[in-house]
Structure 1
Amino acid sequence: MTTRLIVFFFTLVLPTLAWTQDADFAALFKQGTQHYTAKEYEQSRDAFAKALEQDPHNATTLTNLALAQFQLGKKPLAIGLFRKALNSDPELTPARAGLKFALTQMEIKEIPHQIETYESVRAKLLAPVSVIAYLIMTALFLFAAGWILIGFMGQRRRALAEEKALPGFPMIGTFLALCFLVSLTLLSLKMYDQSIVRATVVDDKVSLQSAPGDNQVALLDLYGGMEVIVQNENNDWVQVTYPGSITGWVKKSAVLRTN
């Protein structure tokens, strides 16, 4: 287990040090690296946490902080940090591998619920791809389909003017136009998905209550590492929904927002 985590870690170190232009950030990142390799995980955690204060959405640093938290036994928090890293950079392979590995180490008890179609689509098509990637793909399909269809219209106009046989409709243009519509739909869903506030349960176990406040009716138990949708807030309490299940309230400190 430790060997795999160190592999994830070193995969991330060099790119971040090369990208950053902030000397303080680089120094903190280096400290986190040194402490981690020395198995001084608390100091490593503190260094990466300070680095995040300067760049809160740095996916690489979030991933490394998750690794340090995992080594300290805070697996649910590590899972939340991995998800937060993937929200910043959905294509960051080490974060995705780290999340997958961390989840295998959890004994997450599934709550009976109906898997919603949207959540299935999100897991397979939306979460792994960034908005930028969908924008580029949509633009390419639009350009390719438009180029072919405009060319076809030009050929048709010339054929009519010269009283020749009309050219056949370009099937590849139709195919690309359909691909454009599918890509545009996925882009719209991706942008909608980003508007949904999600969080990860970071306590080992927390009761989902019927209302905010202590001593309320407990509806069911949520377990560390579970992902929930944030609906509302009330002081130190947050209303969440476990996808496909019921909605209730938990303490704000029991969850980590991941987007």
Structure 2
Amino acid sequence: MKRKLLLLLSMFLLCSFLFYPARSSQKISDIFNQANSLYEKGNFKEAISYYEQLVQSGKVSSDLYYNLGNACFKAGLPGRAILYYEKAMKFSPRNKELKQNLAYVRSLTVDKQFDEDGSIIFFLLSGMNGFLSINELTIIFMIFYFILFFTGLIYIFLPEKSVRFYNRIIASFVLFCFLISSFFLAIRIYDEEYVKKGIIMFSQEKARSGPGEDYTEVFTVHEGSKVFLRQTQGDWRQITLPSGYSGWVKNKSIEEI
């Protein structure tokens, strides 16, 4: 009797484990479809609340951030629109519609900002920032890693000179590609983890020379401006503009990308 109960309990737990992801996925899909329906009806603020539920659940994607950016723009929230377009760019850096929407919203902001230097040097140093996502770079890195691993095995276990000769040529080429992909991936990881960027959310924010209201005003930034995030002190965050100017603004005025 006890064995039967244990068997039934085990089967129940196994079924729960197998079907829970499906139920969870269905719920996420329902919320996403509901948000899209509200967007199409012109209920942009309600659509935003549904999209943000998905963001808070951690089930993020390029489509989610893109739709959320569109809803924010339609709702008259250009700063939040730019924020979510920037987040979507991390997943789909080659998406033309996404790039066009981001460029258009940027053109409407007070502080006109454009894409960074498009030179070949910047392209290389940014780890193909506008061409490949970090997931794509990781996949390329792993492909070359495994090819290099198997060419090494072939070299060890197949002693024929002709095989080793051609294998050495292939291995040299793969090693070169592996090192290049490692270089780009390392730059991208550094950019993602250590070069923090944010978007100004307030219509206007005065940057000061230090972390407090008593410090001198050094410049003013406006909603939608993209800034580099530095150190935090209390309720204040040090920011740096693309032009190089630095100042301190209130933490609540910024959202990190």
TM-score (norm 2): 0.71
Count of aligned positions: 232
What SS does the corresponding residue of 1:125 show, helix, strand or coil? coil
What SS does the corresponding residue of 2:218 show, helix, strand or coil? strand
CA–CA distance in structure 2, aligned partners of residues 188 and 60 of structure 1: 26
Deviation string, structure 1 residues 11-51 (Cα, Å, up to 9, x no partner): xxxxxxx996152x444333322221111222222332334
CA RMSD of aligned residues (A): 3.7
Closer, same or farther: CA 213–177 of 1 in aligned 2, 3 Å: same
Q: Which residue of 2 aligns with 1:227?
A: 226
Q: Which residue of 2 aligns with 1:10?
A: none
Q: Which residue of 2 aligns with 1:134?
A: 137
Which aligned pairs between 1:97-176 and structure 2 lie closer than 5 A? 97-109=100-112, 121=124, 125-126=128-129, 128-145=131-148, 147-148=150-151, 158-159=160-161, 167=165, 171-176=169-174
Closer, same or farther: CA 46–147 of 1 in aligned 2, 3 Å: closer
Q: Which residue of 2 aligns with 1:3?
A: none
- Which runs of no fewer than 5 residues in structure 1 stay unpaired? 1-17
Deviation of 1:78 (Å): 0.4
Q: Which residue of 1 aligns with 2:180?
A: 182
The counterpart of 1:46, out of the listed 46, 49, 66, is 49
Closer, same or farther: CA 33–19 of 1 in aligned 2, 3 Å: farther
Deviation of 1:61 (Å): 2.5
Q: Which residue of 1 aligns with 2:3?
A: none
The counterpart of 1:57, out of the listed 56, 60, 66, is 60
Deviation of 1:241 (Å): 1.9
What SS does the corresponding residue of 2:128 show, helix, strand or coil? helix
Q: Match of 1:247, as an amino acid? A: S
Q: Relative contact order (alpha carbons < 8 A, sep ≥ 6): 1 or 2 greater?
A: 1
- Which runs of no fewer than 5 residues in structure 2 stay unpaired? 1-21
Q: Does 1:245 align with 2:244?
A: yes
Shifted more, 119-128 versus 225-234: the winner is 119-128
Deviation string, structure 1 residues 174-215 (Cα, Å, up to 9, x no partner): 333222111111111111112122211223432221112224
